[in-house]
Amino acid sequence: MVKEPEAMGQAKKTKQLRWWNPRRLPLPKGPYVVGCVDVMTGSSASGCFIRLHYPTSLRDAKAHKRNWPKWFMGKDYFEGFVDSMNLNPPSAQYIKLILGGIKIPAVWREPPLGRGVTPGEGEESPGSADEKCKGGARGPPPPPLDTLPVAFLSHGLGACRFSYSTICLEMASRGFVVVAVEHRDHTACSTYYLVPEESGELRREHLEFWKLEKKEYTLRNRQAHLRSAEIRRAVDLMEDINEGRPVHNLLDPTFPFQDFQGRLDFSKAVIIGHSFGGATTLLSLAKDPRLRIGIALDAWMYPVKRVADLPLRLSTQPILFVNMQYFQKRHNLDEMRRLLEMATSPEVVPEGTPSPERRVVTIRHAIHEDQSDSAYFIGWPFGIVVGQQSVAPSPLVSSVNTRLILQFLSKQIDSVDLGEHERFLAKWKWLLKEGLPAEEDKGECSTSDSGSEVGSTTS
């Protein structure tokens, strides 16, 4: 273990990683340029609302920046974001000024990479642009993709479908189709569904964020089950797309879903969730056998704190927990410990059967928000306004977090480059602590209450 003074000396050397760009999130580092599109099915809250991220045949993301979507998608989302964070009006206006123009470096509505198509084919300006472009076009064109692994993402309390775009972009730039679900259980900062009217127009029905000022297990547990049902509907939707069944997207009826037909690989389908989404991840693994791999980011265990909530098939499902040192509390870690001990009990794992990988990693000197896109706003000026800053640079923590996800998946899915991620993580190993803290070790835990997430940006 690296000594604390040496670790802090390393932290001083990473000042250049306090990345902030008033125009965009960072470009992903994988070989494919990412496309994205919103999909909404059904005319009620029980429908499905997702954002798809996927590899495209483009080679130069920057050449298509006019088609990058804004991070904030309208007034309702901004107001919900402000409300969920309890920002006062002056702070809200400042945040709107700073964040209002930030874009996501993914090409809106670009068709997916075709079967057997090499990225760059058909573009007007290949050649030297390939060598200069970063974020989805490094060096020679990457190989074509016939199959695409699928991952589903569940957001935290007060977040929404675009709050984890950095993670989605990195995975999609490496060949994944990432399905970011926007939950309609009143935990999103804002969401809506479309209702047809007699005139033929579609009317928005807004669902506001519910704020609680005290512990409320009954409601949070019910919301966790609603969220899990929404994940299952998203899996159903992606299976329909893969099977070529008709899908009516209320937001974009002309998008070419047929380009995904027969190519989505569900054999090792991944579910990822942050905070409340971490609880949703565990519950979804317990309920849906189509989900094979779980990644829980700073999981908030309170909504599923009873063992009966999680009858997980833990003898077959690899699970990664990535925790932030300044969020996890004793109660939360005790629930994780009990869950992992249950997974290795003789009643769950038959004799002679190897247990799947189950790993817990804590990123030291890091806060809860570092696992969302907020990591790229918190260092400056965002963190000054809301009073939330890591000791370690938040962009660095975000990169380490994403690499841990990709490293874990590389051991389960052959399409991910293991060596690349292990080399990156070895460079920053002083930030990582393996395993759960010992029960008597209180120094690795925050001391604040773990029953509620009120006040956290994306819990």
Burial class of 128 by CB neighbour count within 10 A (0 to 12, 13 to 18, 19+): exposed
> Cis peptide before 381, with omega less than 30 degrees from 0?
yes
pTM of the model: 0.89
Cα distance between residue 458 and residue 345, in whole Å: 34
Residues, the chain, total?
459
Model pLDDT, residue 3: 45
Q: Is the dihedral of CA 381, 387, 391, 392 positive or negative?
A: negative
Model pLDDT, residue 115: 86
Model pLDDT, residue 446: 57
Model pLDDT, residue 449: 42
CA-wise closest residue to 61 among 110, 107, 101, 29? 107
User: Could you tell me the mean pLDDT of each successive run of 10 residues in the chain, 459 residues long?
Assistant: 46 50 88 97 95 96 95 88 84 77 95 87 48 53 90 97 97 97 96 92 93 82 95 98 96 95 96 97 92 96 78 74 93 86 64 75 93 78 57 89 96 80 95 84 51 48
- Is residue 257 within 8 A of residue 238, CB to CB? The reply is no
SS3 of residue 204 by DSSP: strand
Model pLDDT, residue 349: 58
Contacts by 5-14 with C-beta closer than 8 Å and gap 24+?
6/430, 7/364, 7/365, 7/430, 7/431, 8/391, 10/430, 11/365, 11/391, 11/392, 11/393, 14/392, 14/393, 14/396
SS3 of residue 36 by DSSP: strand
Model pLDDT, residue 170: 97
Class of CATH domain 4-349+357-434: alpha beta
Model pLDDT, residue 93: 80
| Intra-chain end-to-end CA distance of the chain, in Å | 29
